[in-house]
Amino acid sequence: VVFCIPKGTTWDGEGWIAYANINSWDSFYNDDWCTYVSIQMHEVGHNIDLAHSGQGNNEYDDGSGMMGYSYAEDDTPVMCFTPPKYWQIGWYDDRIATLSTAWKGEIVGIAEYDLSEEGQYVAVRIKGSTVGARRDYFISFNRMKDGTCISDTRESPNKVLIHSRYPGTGYALSKLVAVKISGGSHKIGDVTIKVLSINTDVNPGIATIEVNGGSLDECLGLKEKKCKKKKKCTFTEEPEKKKYACKAKKEEYDFECDSNKDKYYCESFTSGVCRWEKKKSKCTHKCKVKNKKKCKKQKNEYSKKICKWSEVDDPCVGCHQKDTCA
């Protein structure tokens, strides 16, 4: 429900623009701000559990999506949310890839999602746990095109964007960390993201991307025998290519416990699969243990064992939550 508040009100004695309750149904707008589309999208974004999208130390300074700054304009800018946001709420999930091995492929913009083909993606996600980082990373192509949902972006049109956010699908600030043109590259730990080309003369427009290095390369190209000897690799079928290949094992959990920043949320809303580590002041998944015996002893709030130790052919590495890797 949108509440339009007449001119002349203050918030704690100060002027205000708008606000909304997180993961709720109500948003409030001061006077003319009730008529501006970007602030409406921004506040309703908070209603559906989206946090701000920033750049550097400014949590609003990402102009590629509606969770950054808002504008006193009736019908513009015409743009949407950023990749960490639409991944969080499950949009375009048939066109988002999560990498577990080195990759080369094509990314299209959500402006031309309807023109995309099988094997093309609107975003590619790199899990932080895969590359030794604390945040997950998202690669996208900020395609701007007249007559689409992105015809007036305020940040780097027709360039490749790299965003980050903390793991999980809960409320979390996202950041624009890099903008790249054709030929540009960006490093995350020992993994390199390269923009091989950008072509806007075709429909859909395409950014060709290559991601390789470090842990993503460890399993790449190994034959079955050598693959199965490596603890972090699994020899698995690639249905789209109708063949088997060596891939890096995944870390998959029903709950990304790290996103819970206090003991109350850690222990109360995670079905007993997370524990609060007092000394480190952090929330950790119970299956994140390195000992096989400890792994098999972990239980949830119903005293049901929740963890499994990886065997040779399992798609997950080490201790992982049951029924989450298939």
Residue 222 lies in a domain: no
Write down the pLDDT at residue 306. Answer: 86
- Report which DSSP code applies to 322: T
Res. 176 pLDDT band, cuts 50 70 90: very high
Smallest CA-to-CA distance from 82 within 196, 4, 184, 173 is with 173
Q: Comparing 44-58, 171-185, 207-221, 255-269, which segment has the lowest mean pLDDT?
A: 255-269
Residue 176 domain-assigned? yes
- State the residue range of the domain holding 139: 2-212
> Is 242 inside a domain boundary?
no
The reply to whether 262 falls in a domain is no
Within-domain flag for 286: no
Please give the C-alpha separations between residue 204 and each of 26, 80, 121, 211, 290, in angstroms, as whole numbers: 37, 18, 11, 21, 46
Work out how many domains the chain is built from and give that number: 1
Find how far residue 97's CA is from the centre of its chain.
Answer: 10
Q: Using 50, 70 and 90 to split pLDDT, how confident is the model at 44?
A: very high
Distances (CA, A) of 162 to 48, 112, 126, 316: 23, 19, 10, 26
Structural domain includes residue 259: no
The candidate with the shortest Cα–Cα distance to 287, out of 326, 256, 261, is: 256
Q: Is residue 17 part of a domain?
A: yes
Q: Per DSSP, which regions of 181-305 are E strands?
A: 185-188, 191-199, 206-212, 233-238, 243-248, 274-277, 282-285
pTM beyond 0.75: the answer is: no
- Inside any domain, residue 250: no
Per-residue pLDDT at 280: 83
